[in-house]
Chain A
Amino acid sequence: MLKSRTRKKSELLPGTLDMLILKTLEQGGVMHGYAIADRIRQVSEDVLQVEEGSLYPALQRMQLKEWVASDWGHSANNRRARYYRLTPAGKKQLQQEVSEFDRVMSAILRVIQTA
C-alpha cells in the first residue's frame, strides 16, 4: 500500500526542475503554475514527465530565494490565480544554471562519444 505510492518523483536530472521553471518563465513572461507545467510538457514534447504538483514546493523555494516573484491576478476564464515572474536575481541564477548544465552535458557527451 505504502510502496505503491512512492513512484519515481520525476524523470528529471536532479536539480534541473528549478532550471526548467526559470527558463520557462524567461520565455513566457508572467505565468501561473498550471501554465508553467503545461508549457514544460509541451516544449519537451512529453519527454519530460514532471509530477505537476512538485512545481509548487519548487516555486516556494525560489520565492524564498527571490528568484521569482508572484502576484495574484485573474486567469483567462476569470478565476483567481497566482502569477509568477522572473526577477533579476532569477535571471542571473538561470544563466549560472544553464552554463553549469552545458558544462556537465558536454562532458557527459564527450564521454559517451569517445566510448
Chain B
Amino acid sequence: MGKLAQLWRRLLFFLRGEKFDRELEEEMRFHLDMRIERNIAEGMSPEEARFDAMRRFGNRTKLHEESREVWLFSQLDRLAQDLRYGVRVLGRNPLFSSVAVLALALGIGANTAIFSVVNAVLLRPLPFRDPDGLVMLRAVNVKATDGSSMGAAPADFYDWRSQSQSFEQIAAETGGGVTLSGAEGAEMIPGSRFSEGLLEMLGARPFMGRSFQPGEFRSTAQPVLLLSHRAWRGRFGGDPDIVGKTFPMNGRATTVIGVMPPDFRHPDFAEVWTPMPEDSGEMRIRTSRYFSVIGRLKEGVSLEQAEAEMATLGARLSEQYPESNAGWTVRLVPLKEQVVGNIRPALLILLGAAGFVLLVACANVANMLLSRSAARRKEISLRLALGAARSRVVRQLLTESILLSSVGAALGLGLAYWGVDALTALVPESMNFPRLDEIRIDGRVLGFTVLMSFLTGVGFGLIPALQASKQDLQGSLKENSARTSADRGLQRTRGLLIVSEIAITLLLLTGAGLLIKSFVRLQETDPGFREENLLALNIGTPMRKYPKEDQRAAYYKQLVERVGALPEVESAALTSGAPMTGFDLVFEFSIEGRDARPDDVPQTVYSSISPNYFRTMGIPLLAGREFDERDVAGSPFVTLINETMARRFFPDEDPLGKRVRINYLGRPTMLEIIGVVRDARQSALSQKTDIEMYTSYQQAPWFSTHMLVRTRTAPAGASTSVRRAIQSVDKDQAVMDVKTMDELISESVAQPRLYTWLLSVFASIALVLAAVGIYGVMSYTVAQRTHEIGIRMALGAQVGDILGMIVRQSLSLVFAGVALGLIGAAALTRIMSALLYDVSATDPATFAAIPLLLIAVALLASLIPARRATKVDPLTALRYE
C-alpha cells in the first residue's frame, strides 16, 4: 500500500471524475432526504424539515469541493483548474487581454533586454581563470583630482614586477598590431603584445596549437604569433592547418603557433597576439605610460595591503627617477572594475529606466483589471456567496493576472531576443563597449524574466484581486447598485495608479529630454575645423623599414606629396593623433624661465603634424606662421600652440618667440613658439579643448600616423585612389580605418546616441501607456457618470460645461502626477550628470517643456471620452438605470 497505491487511486479518480461528482451528489441528496423524512415523521412541517436538514448538513457545495479535493493532487489540480478558468476568462475579453499582454510584453521585454546586457557586462565574472584575484596596476598623477589614471611606463612595469611582494605574478600588455603583406597590398590587423606569463595568468590556453614559450620573449627570437578565433575564421577562412604556417608580417616571416578559443578576447579589439620582447630598448622608457599591467594578488593579500606596498614602491621610484616619476603613484583597480567601470552608471540608469517602464505597464494593467473587476463583481459575489473562501477567489484572480504576465513575458522574451540583436548591431565596432560579444540571453536572464513575470503578475494583480474579493455581498448581488462605497474606493485606487503612472512617465520623459538636448548640443558643437569632404586613414608605419627618424620623415614627406598630387585631392596631411577616437598623446612641459614644482608639471596634448595640416583641416592660424620648409631636422626645434595654451600661459604677453621645454622620448628638448592656432576638438567632440602643442613631423616624426585628406569630390569616393597612391610609395604600407570625418564624428558620439535612443524609446513606451491609462480611466468615469451627466444636461448644462467637468477631473490627476514626477525627476536626474554634455541635470527648459508635453498628451487622451460624455442623450441616460 502506501504512497504508490494512493497515487494509483488518485490517477483512477482522475479518469472517473464526473462519475465521482454524480455519486457524491446522489449520496448527499440521499442523506438529506433521509433526514427530511425523519423530521417530518417527528412532526415538522415539510418546510421546517428541509431547512433543519440543510442546517444540520452544512454547506453542501463546500463539502462536495472538500471531498473532491481529497482525491486531487490538490494544489496542482487546483492550479490547473484556475488556469483553465483564467484562459476562458481572458479569452472572452480579447481586446483587454491583448492590450494588457502588449503593455506587459513591452515592459518585460525592455527589462529582459537591458538585464541581459547588465548580466553579461556587469554580473558575469570575466572569462579568465579565478578572475576575482586579478587587479590592474595603474599609474596615478597626484594632481589628477578627477580619479583618472594611466597605464604604466615599460620601465616602471619592470620595477614593479621585480620589487613587489604582494603578487603571485605581474604581467603587461600593450597594443601592437601587425601588418600582413598579401597579394592585394598590405593590411593591418589590430593586436596586442603580451609579456611573459600573461596568458598563463589569465588561464588562457590555445584552442589549437601551442602557447608562447619563454625563449620567444626576446628580440632575437624567431617571430611567432597567436591568432584570435575570429581572425582565424575571418581572415584565414578557418584553415585547419593554419598552425605552423608562416606569413610575412611586419616585414618578417612570422609563424602562427596557435589559435585562441572564441571566448578569449583580451583586449577586446585584439585579433592577434605576439610576445613582447623584454630585452629591447623600449623597456627603458619611463616617460610614456602605455602598458596595461595586470597582477594576480597572492592568496591572503588584500587589495589595500597590496596598494599600500605599491604606494611605497611608487614613492621610491619617484625619488629615484624624479625626472619621470615625481608626482606619480600606483593605484590598484580590480580588473573587472577597469573593464566595465566606465559603462556601469549608464547601464544601471538604463536598467532603472526599464524598471520604470515596467512599473508604468503594471499600473496600467492593474487599472484595466480594476475597471474589469467592476464588471465581474457579480460573478465574484456569487462565488463568495456559494461559500468560496476569499483566499480562493484571490488566488483565482491572481492566477489570471500571472497568466497575463506570463504570456506578456513570453512575448517580451521574443522582443528581448530581437532587442539584444538590434542593440548589439547598433553599437559600432569602434565604440568601446566592453564584453559586447558576451551579451546573450542565458539561464540567468531567463530566470530573471520568469521571476519578473511572476512578480509583476502579483504586483498588478494583488490590489484588484483584494478589492474585488472585498465586496459587500448583498449590495453587489443586486443588479442596480451602481455606486457603493467599494466603488468610491475603487475610483480612488485607480486615481492613485494614474497619478503614479504619470509621475513615472514624467521622470522618464525628463531623463530622455535631457539626453536628447545633450545629444543635440553635442552634435551642434563646433569642432573647430571643417569636417566636410575630409577623409581620414590610419597608417601603421612599418617601423622595421624606417627605424631612423630621418628615414621616417622622408617617407612621410613622400606620402603627403604623392597623395596631395591626386587630382581629386585638394590637400593631404599627417598627424600623430587619431582623429575622433578620444585618444591623445600627452606630454609634460614647462615654459622657459618659469620653473614648475616637480609635482605640479603642466601637461599638453601633443601632435606631430605635417606642415599643411592646418590648411587641410581648416583650422585657422591666429598669429605667427605655420610650419614650412625651414623647419627640418637640424634647424631650431619649433612649435605651434593653440589659443587655450596661449591664453593660459601668456595672458598678457606675446607667446611668439617664447620657448617651451618638453621631454621628447627621453631627450629634454627646447621648442620655440612660432604660431598660435584656433582651438579644435580633434580627438572627441565632447572633450573640452585642452592645452595643445604641435610640432612638425620633419623635426619629430612620430611612430604611427593618421593621414587626413581634403577632397574636391565626395571623400568616400577618393579612398581607393588614396590607398593606391600610398601603396605606390611602399607596397607593404597597410591602410586601416578609412573613414570620412562625418563617419568618425558620428561614431565618436555612438555611445551618447545609444543611450539617448534607448531612453527615448523607454520614455515613449511609458508615454503611450500613460495615455492609454488616462483614456481608460476617463472612459470608465464617463460611463459611470452617464446618469449624472444626463441629469445635468436635462437641467440645462451646456456641452462646454460637461467637457470642462470631465477634463477638469482628468487634469487634477495629471497635475498631481506631474507635481510628484517633477520632485522625483529633480532628485533622480542628478545621477545622470555623467551622461550629459553641456546640459545641467536640472535644466530649466527641459523641466518646463516636458510637463507641458505630458499635460498636452493627457488632455488629448481625456478629450475623447469627454466628447463622448457630451453626446449623452439625456433621455437615454435617465432611462439607463
Contacts and interface: CB of A to CB of B under 8 A. Distances in A.
B63 A82 contact: no
A79 B30 contact: yes
B849 interface: no
Contact of B30 (A32, A53, A60): A32
Given A34-B34, A51-B56, A56-B63, 17 more contacts: A1-B385, A2-B473, A5-B59, A32-B30, A32-B31, A34-B30, A37-B31, A52-B31, A52-B58, A53-B58, A53-B60, A60-B67, A66-B1, A66-B5, A80-B30, A81-B27, A82-B27
B56 A52 contact: yes
A81 B67 CA distance: 17
A89 B1 contact: yes
B355 to A, nearest CB: 38
Interface string A26-53: 0000001110010000000000000111
B545 interface: no
Contact of A82 (B6, B23, B35, B387): B23
Interface in B827-879: none
Nearest to A62: B70
A60 B71 contact: yes
A57 interface: yes
Interface string B64-84: 101111110000000000000
A1 B474 contact: yes
Nearest to A82: B27
Interface string B276-312: 0000000000000000000000000000000000000
A96 interface: no
A1 to B, nearest CB: 5
A81 to B, nearest CB: 5
Interface of A: 1-2, 5, 32-34, 37, 51-54, 56-57, 59-61, 64-66, 72, 75, 77, 79-82, 89
Contacts of A82: 23, 27, 30
B24 to A, nearest CB: 7
Given A2-B384, A5-B387, A51-B57, A56 B67 contact: yes
Nearest to B62: A53
A56 B28 contact: yes
B473 A64 contact: no
B9 interface: yes
Nearest to A50: B56
A60 B70 contact: yes
Interface size class of B (residues with CB under 8 A): 35 or more
A5 to B, nearest CB: 7
Contact of A80 (B26, B28, B34, B68): B26
B57 A64 contact: no
B71 to A, nearest CB: 6
A75 B38 CA distance: 14
A33 B34 CA distance: 10
Contacts of A65: 6
Nearest to A32: B30
A44 B552 CA distance: 116
Contacts of B63: 53-54, 56-57
A28 B66 CA distance: 26
Nearest to B472: A1
A61 B30 CA distance: 20
- Please give me the 10 A-B residue pairs with the lowest Cβ-Cβ distance, nearest first: A53-B58, A57-B66, A51-B58, A53-B63, A53-B57, A60-B70, A34-B34, A60-B67, A57-B67, A34-B31
Contacts of A79: 30, 33
Contact of A34 (B10, B24, B35, B68): B35
Judged by DSSP, the binding face of A is helix
Contacts of A1: 385, 473-474
Contacts of B30: 32-34, 75, 79-82
Interface string B299-329: 0000000000000000000000000000000
Interface string B13-47: 00000000001101110110111010000000000
Contacts of A56: 24, 27-28, 63-64, 66-67
A2 B470 CA distance: 11
Contacts of A51: 56-58
26 contacts: A2-B384, A32-B30, A33-B27, A34-B30, A37-B31, A51-B58, A52-B56, A52-B57, A53-B31, A53-B58, A53-B60, A53-B63, A56-B28, A56-B66, A56-B67, A57-B66, A57-B69, A57-B70, A64-B9, A64-B10, A64-B71, A65-B6, A66-B1, A72-B23, A79-B30, A82-B27
Nearest to A61: B70
Nearest to B33: A79
Contacts of B474: 1
A52 B54 CA distance: 9
A64 B70 contact: yes
Interface in B188-237: none
B828 to A, nearest CB: 45
- Most B CB atoms within 10 A — which of A60, A75, A77, A82? A60
A82 B474 CA distance: 38
Contacts of B33: 79
A44 B596 CA distance: 109
A12 to B, nearest CB: 14
A79 B24 CA distance: 15
B311 to A, nearest CB: 72
Contacts of A34: 30-31, 34-35
A76 B34 CA distance: 11
A28 B685 CA distance: 98
A1 B68 CA distance: 26
A8 B64 CA distance: 18
B178 to A, nearest CB: 77
Interface string B460-501: 000000000000011000000000000000000000000000
Contacts of A60: 24, 67-68, 70-71
Contacts of A52: 31, 35, 56-58
Contact of B59 (A33, A53, A61, A66): A53
Contacts of B23: 72, 82
B95 to A, nearest CB: 33
Q: Which of B57, B384, B387, B474 has the most CB of A within 10 A?
A: B57
Contacts of B28: 53, 56
Contacts of B1: 66, 89
A59 B67 CA distance: 8
Nearest to B390: A2
B876 to A, nearest CB: 35
B5 to A, nearest CB: 7
Nearest to B23: A82
Contacts of A33: 27, 30-31
A54 B28 CA distance: 11
A32 B70 CA distance: 19
A5 B60 CA distance: 12
A52 B31 CA distance: 9
Contacts of B66: 56-57
